[in-house]
Amino acid sequence: MSQSHIILVRHGEASAGWSVHPDPGLSELGREQAAEAGKSLIEKIPCYQLISSPKKRAIETMEMMINERECSFQLDSRFIEIPSDNIETAEKRDWLIKIFTTPIKALPEAVKEWRINLITWLEKIEGNLIVTTHFMVINALVSYITSNNKISYFHPDYASRTEIFFKNGKMTQLILGDDKKTVINL
């Protein structure tokens, strides 16, 4: 009998918008949010495999969460934010809004491939993990789990945690992170 527990932590508030800076770190508030998330996970951090998106705000969130504990974490590019490199900065906000309501079958090929990589990871996962990642990564995984027709499912707040439990390869429980209508910094 195998059991897995995955905790997806959305990064804390970024210091700059998505369309303003390609890889911002955390704002002061974001650092506080990440430290608070770490306090709520204090017992799990030493026992779980730790993974972070390679984006600065996710790395800083993990660093604030582990807060000088003797822990290391891996960077994994599968958990990077939704691919939008080919979208002009001025058009990113409108593009993302459109992606929220686009049926999965009609998503751009790069987004479909990114989503499939996440799903493949999820279907093969073993063990207990804490992953610091992004709004759309969490949504892509939750929308898959819930068989939602769109990639967007809910609005996880900064530094919130979404938990997925598996037993013998089957999902047994999904706990959504705090659902806030947060502003996505563009």
Q: Inform me whether the pLDDT recorded for 72 exceeds 50.
A: yes
pLDDT of residue 50: 96
Q: What percentage of the chain reaches a pLDDT higher than 70?
A: 95
pLDDT of residue 2: 84
Q: How many CB atoms lie within 10 A of CB 135?
A: 22
In CATH, the number for domain 3-175 is: 3.40.50.1240
What rounded mean pLDDT belongs to the chain?
Answer: 90
User: How many DSSP H helices and E strands does the chain contain?
Assistant: 5, 6
Do residues 185 and 158 touch, judged by C-beta distance below 8 A? no
pLDDT of residue 1: 63
What single string gives the DSSP state of each residue in 26-51? B-HHHHHHHHHHHHHTTTTTTTSEEE
Q: Inform me whether the pLDDT recorded for 67 exceeds 90.
A: no
Q: Inform me whether the pLDDT recorded for 132 exceeds 50.
A: yes
The residue-averaged pLDDT of 107-111 equals 96
Instruction: Name the pLDDT band for 150 (thresholds 50, 70, 90).
Output: very high
Instruction: Name the pLDDT band for 75 (thresholds 50, 70, 90).
Output: very high
Do residues 149 and 27 touch, judged by C-beta distance below 8 A? no
pLDDT of residue 180: 67
Going from N- to C-terminal start, the domains of the chain cover 3-175
The residue-averaged pLDDT of 141-168 equals 93
- Helix 28-40, helix 56-66: angle, nearest 10: 50
Instruction: Encode pLDDT of 47-66 as tens digits.
Output: 999 999 999 999 999 999 99
Sole residue written with tokens 């974490």: 73
